[in-house]
């Protein structure tokens, strides 16, 4: 297995802040009390290894994941770029503010660094943006963004009053889910708005693929590291894999030392072809 690099590369957000390109996802964590200490240890190790962007959401475990993250951040909060999300059912002006207050209590912090609309709902984007700006003015959040918006939704959001303040669009992206490469990823790259890739190893389902296994063997790496290196290969992407134990954290961290060759990428393209036309945005 490759030795981890000395520091985690960063990517600039539109507001000018740099965040690590490899962070920590938490979807599915905090839902089993028997795994609590193991999951807290995993998050804390990831932070200590420089994967200091931690992503969570009010939806995850009906708040139990935010509770877990809050416990993990004790003594480390000032090192972390904390991301959470508001459900579309709560995304009205007053609903967003109330949801943020609940998340802050669970996270045991006075602010969230990046607050995202989890996906599009019935509330007009402008109302949610108004709430985000109120939260910024109150010091409850520092920046805001979106998640699971397709190109048309993204254009509409950017056209809404204040919409150009968006810092990221968090979407599903991994070697087997490449639809965003046709339109959404180029559109956001042109605007210098990074993609935040969730499930970058497809929740483990692609890790037995023979091509990924063979590429991993060539690099003395693991298939998960190859999948992460693929997601990060061209810039403009922040990957947030979940790692629920310390071994998994170390494995993900070492992905930053895997440098895919032109042949590796050609092999991946053969098995997981890049899109040749627009596709509906995929979600998990």
Helices (H), the chain: 36-48, 64-72, 93-107, 125-137, 151-159, 184-190, 210-219, 223-231, 246-254, 262-271
Catalytic-residue membership of 198: no
CA distances, 46 to each of 9, 29, 53, 104 (Å) = 14, 14, 9, 22
Phi, psi of 33 (to 5 degrees): -60, -30
Residues 6+ apart with CB under 8 A from 274: 178, 181, 182
Q: Which residue is associated with the tokens 């995993």?
A: 42
What letter would DSSP give residue 150?
A: -
Q: What's the CA gap between 201 and 188, in Å, rounded? A: 22
Rounded Cα gap, residues 174 and 231, in angstroms? 6
Q: Residues with Cβ < 8 Å from 176, sequence gap 6 or more?
A: 202, 205, 206, 272
- Taken in order 242, 73, 168, 15, the sign of the CA dihedral is negative
Whole-angstrom Cα distance, residue 282 to residue 4? 32
Distance CA 226, CA 264 (A): 9
Of 60, 81, 173, 198, the active-site residue reads 60
**What's the helix, strand, coil split of the chain in %, to 5?**
45, 15, 40
Among all residues, which ones are annotated catalytic?
60
């Amino acid at each position: 297995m490759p030795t981890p690099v000395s520091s985690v590369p960063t990517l600039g957000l539109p507001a000018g802040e740099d965040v690590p390109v490899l962070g920590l996802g938490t979807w599915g964590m905090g839902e089993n009390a028997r795994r609590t200490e193991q999951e807290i240890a995993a998050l804390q190790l990831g932070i200590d290894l420089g994967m200091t962007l931690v992503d969570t959401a009010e939806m995850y475990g009906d708040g139990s994941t935010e509770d877990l993250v809050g416990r993990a951040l004790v003594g480390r909060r000032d090192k972390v770029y904390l991301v959470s999300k508001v459900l579309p059912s709560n995304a009205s002006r007053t609903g967003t503010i109330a949801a943020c207050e609940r998340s802050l209590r669970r996270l045991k912090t006075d602010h969230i660094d990046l607050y995202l609309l989890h996906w599009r709902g019935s509330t007009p984007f402008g109302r949610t943006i108004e709430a985000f700006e109120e939260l910024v003015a109150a010091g409850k959040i520092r920046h805001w963004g979106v998640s699971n918006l397709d190109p048309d939704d993204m254009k509409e959001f950017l056209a809404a009053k204040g919409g150009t303040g968006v810092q990221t669009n968090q979407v599903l992206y991994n070697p087997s889910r490449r639809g965003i490469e046709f339109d959404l990823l180029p559109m956001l790259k042109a605007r210098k708005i990074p993609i935040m890739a969730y499930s970058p190893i497809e929740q483990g389902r692609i890790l037995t693929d023979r091509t990924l296994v063979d590429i991993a063997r060539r690099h003395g790496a693991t298939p998960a590291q190859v999948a992460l290196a693929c997601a990060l290969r061209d810039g403009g992407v922040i990957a947030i894999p979940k790692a629920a134990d310390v071994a998994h954290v170390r494995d993900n961290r070492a992905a930053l030392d895997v440098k895919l060759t032109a042949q590796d990428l050609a092999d991946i393209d053969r098995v997981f072809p890049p899109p040749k036309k627009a596709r509906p945005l995929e979600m998990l």
